Structure 1
Amino acid sequence: MDRKVLIAFSMTVFIWGSAFPGIKVGLQSFSPEHLALLRLLIASAALLVFAAFKGIKFPDVRDIPVILLLGFLGFTVYHAGLSFGEQTVSAGVSSLLVSTTPIFAAILGTAFLKERLSKIGWLGSFIAFFGVALISVGTGNSFTAVSFGIIWILIAALGESFFFVFETNYIKKYGFINFNIYTILAGTVFMLFFLPGLGTELASASTASTLTVIYLGLIPTILPYFAIAYVISKAGAAKATSSLYLTPAAALLISWLWLGEIPTLLALIGGALTLIGVGLSAVKGPKPDQESVEPAKKAT
């Protein structure tokens, strides 16, 4: 792998991994909804400056409803759900739960895009969700509270899955960076519903929490998407999306160093099963209209 690609890939894994413990620190002073709102407001402000500097044009009017919907699912639902979930679920375990996103995406692709998930893929899905069940049992906290937290995080993963599944055509049209700017701004618009009370929390927030939320808005919400776009352009989508498998390892390590979080053995076993299942679920079946033709002949 090229050195620049490796740096971009490593940066993506580390930064996304740091977001999970960062949310925990932010929640010490902010409510989940205000944390998600402030994070997206900061990201949107930075992206508006970037868009003005680069002269990025507005999307086509006919695409705005879809952009709003995908922004709501990929950013409003994802960030709010993750913030609510991390009230009761540890940062490291949250990252393991978010890694179920590819499974939801595969199932949605099967349901809406007529893609086929292989038998191994379905087996991987069952293994992954069994891992999620073990995580819920092995968190070491109140089962009821953790269960609600896990549901929130799985909702976040589902929202992100819808975003990943249906963004493809629009990325082709607008480009990866432009489309993410549009959808982050769209997701922020929906979060404005929670604006009342944000000023009060900001005034009383600790310096550590405030600086951490600024970091979340400027770094994990923006830079990994730029880095992933670079990796995709140089090494292809397969290597780029493999960051989803390594992010939980980074999150667990950073959570241990930053917060002193040590997951239980059962939660780690569940996390390992989840990641194994996610890997297996990536094995796709043949397309419905696929013919038994050699690749070289298809190209002619």
Structure 2
Amino acid sequence: MNKRVMAAFMMTVLIWGSAFPGIKVGLQSFSPEHLALFRMLIASGALILLSWVRRIELPDIKDVPVILLLGFLGFTVYHTGLSFGEQTVSAGVSSLLVSTTPIFSAILGTLFLKDRLSKIGWIGSFVAFLGVVLISFGTGSSFSAISIGIVWILIAAFGESFFFTFETNYIKKYGIIQFNIYTIIAGTIFMMLFLPGLGTEIREASTSSTLSVIYLGLIPTIIPYFSLAYVISKAGATKATSSLYLTPASALLISWMWLGEVPTYLSVFGGIFTLVGVGLSAVKGPENDQESVDSAKQAST
């Protein structure tokens, strides 16, 4: 990678990593559903303005139902689930749990698409979920409360995995940035259900929490998609999306510096298991070699 591509890559990792502690700060004043809605309203407002300035066309009518569905799964479910989960799960551990998204995506691709998960991929899936179990026992808090939080975050990861699995054809048609504009706005529409009470929370929120949510809406929800698109255009999808594997390390470091969070050794050990498992799940088996050659670089994220 050249310097510009490396800078864009590192920016993606750092910004996405900063989102997890940012949510923690926002939750000090906002309920999970209002934090997620406020964040998405800010992001959608900025993207609508961008769309108007750049004169981005509306999607084809026939694609609207799928855009709404993927927006709901990839943004409504993901951001709401993550916000609820971080009520009881630390920011760093949350980032480790979200890293299971590629595992869910691989399984969904096996079930619904022509993808085939290799034997080592299935082993990787088992290792990753073993890591999740270790993380669960290493949180050092009330196990029942933590378990609920972990379930919320895994639901978030599952929703995002649907988005990543079924977005490919639409990315090819509209491009990464344009398609993400459509789906972010679509996800925000569904979250308007949480609108009652948001104004009161905004008025009563601390300055730090409000600024944190504004940051979440303008930066982690938008900027990484632009930088990731640039890296994909220069270095290919495989190298670009390796940022997903580095995000937990970034989140753990930023959470320690920002919030003073220090994960337990068992959580870190479980996180290593999870990341190793996710990495193994991406390994192609011999039965997929020719298919991999024929379909090289088709993956968009």
TM-score, scaled relative to structure 2: 0.96
Give the equivalent residue in structure 2 for 1:101: 101
Q: Describe the shift of the 1:34–1:291 C-alpha distance in structure 2 as closer, same or farther (beyond 3 A).
A: closer
Displacement, 1:283?
1.1
CA distance in 2, matches of 1:293, 1:173: 22
Deviations 1:88-114 (A, max 9, x none): 000000000000000000000000002
What do you get for the CA RMSD once the two structures are aligned? Answer: 1.7
Moved over 4 A (4+): 286-295
Give the equivalent residue in structure 1 for 2:154: 154
Give the equivalent residue in structure 1 for 2:252: 252
**What letter matches 1:168 in structure 2?**
T
Give the equivalent residue in structure 2 for 1:117: 117
* 1:284 match: secondary structure: coil
Deviations 1:6-53 (A, max 9, x none): 000000000000000000000000000000000000000000010000
Deviations 1:249-291 (A, max 9, x none): 0000000000000000000000000000000000134678958
Give the equivalent residue in structure 1 for 2:60: 60
Indicate conservation of the 8 Å contact 1:116/1:286, yes or no.
no
1:210-289, aligned counterparts within 5 Å?
210-285=210-285
**What letter matches 1:161 in structure 2?**
S
Q: Describe the shift of the 1:293–1:37 C-alpha distance in structure 2 as closer, same or farther (beyond 3 A).
A: closer
Alignment gaps of 5+ in structure 1: 296-300
Indicate conservation of the 8 Å contact 1:132/1:270, yes or no.
yes
**What letter matches 2:113 in structure 1?**
L
Indicate conservation of the 8 Å contact 2:75/2:184, yes or no.
yes
Give the equivalent residue in structure 2 for 1:191: 191
1:86 aligns with 2:86: yes
Give the equivalent residue in structure 1 for 2:167: 167
* 1:66 match: secondary structure: helix
Indicate conservation of the 8 Å contact 1:71/1:186, yes or no.
yes
Indicate conservation of the 8 Å contact 2:43/2:217, yes or no.
yes
Alignment gaps of 5+ in structure 2: 296-301
1:19 aligns with 2:19: yes
Give the equivalent residue in structure 1 for 2:181: 181
Q: Describe the shift of the 1:288–1:41 C-alpha distance in structure 2 as closer, same or farther (beyond 3 A).
A: same
CA distance in 2, matches of 1:56, 1:50: 8
**What letter matches 1:33 in structure 2?**
E
* 2:87 match: secondary structure: coil
CA distance in 1, matches of 2:284, 2:202: 47
- Structure 1 window deviating more from structure 2 (277-286 vs 175-184): it is 277-286
Indicate conservation of the 8 Å contact 1:12/1:243, yes or no.
yes
Give the equivalent residue in structure 2 for 1:298: none
Deviations 1:46-99 (A, max 9, x none): 000100000000000000000000000000000000000000000000000000
Indicate conservation of the 8 Å contact 2:77/2:155, yes or no.
yes
Displacement, 1:292?
12
1:44-59, aligned counterparts within 5 Å?
44-59=44-59
CA distance in 2, matches of 1:128, 1:26: 29
Give the equivalent residue in structure 2 for 1:35: 35
Indicate conservation of the 8 Å contact 1:115/1:287, yes or no.
no
Give the equivalent residue in structure 1 for 2:299: none
Q: Describe the shift of the 1:189–1:287 C-alpha distance in structure 2 as closer, same or farther (beyond 3 A).
A: farther
Q: Describe the shift of the 1:271–1:62 C-alpha distance in structure 2 as closer, same or farther (beyond 3 A).
A: same
What is the total number of aligned residue pairs between the two structures? 295
Indicate conservation of the 8 Å contact 1:73/1:159, yes or no.
yes
* 1:135 match: secondary structure: helix
Deviations 1:176-196 (A, max 9, x none): 100000000000000000000
Give the equivalent residue in structure 2 for 1:127: 127
CA distance in 1, matches of 2:43, 2:37: 10
Displacement, 1:204?
0.3
Indicate conservation of the 8 Å contact 1:98/1:156, yes or no.
yes
CA distance in 2, matches of 1:208, 1:292: 48
Indicate conservation of the 8 Å contact 2:118/2:288, yes or no.
no
CA distance in 2, matches of 1:294, 1:159: 29
Q: Describe the shift of the 1:292–1:54 C-alpha distance in structure 2 as closer, same or farther (beyond 3 A).
A: closer
**What letter matches 2:41 in structure 1?**
L
